[in-house]
Amino acid sequence: MRIGDLVTLSAAGSNQDQNMIVSRAQFGMIMRIREDRHHRDHRTTYGCTKPLIEVKWFFNKKRCSFSNRHQQHWRYEIKKLKAKSKQ
């Protein structure tokens, strides 16, 4: 994944309570990949030692009162957004 990619929550990410608000987001954009040594030493339940990814989430203004929100995720919590066909 690279900066500027559009993402959504993966199945593992949407099952976590800490991502409850973000599960209502339409999509997110990768803003920064934090590769500093401090975060690489932390291990998660799934054993992810990759860098943290900062995502800016966008919500539907008609359905949610949240404005744009930044949140950090491990790689297994997010997946690339797939384009929908125009039918």
pTM of the model: 0.75
Low-confidence residues of the chain: pLDDT under 70? 36-49, 63-68, 87
Which two three-digit tokens encode residue 64?
Answer: 């949610």
Write down the pLDDT at residue 35.
76
Query: Cα dist. 63→20, 59, 68, 87 in Å?
Result: 15, 8, 13, 25
Write down the pLDDT at residue 7.
95
Write down the pLDDT at residue 39.
47
- Indicate the burial class of 71 (C-beta count within 10 angstroms; 0-12, 13-18, 19 or more): middle
Q: Where are the domains of the chain?
A: 6-80
- Indicate the burial class of 60 (C-beta count within 10 angstroms; 0-12, 13-18, 19 or more): exposed
Which two three-digit tokens encode residue 80?
Answer: 């690339």
Write down the pLDDT at residue 47.
58
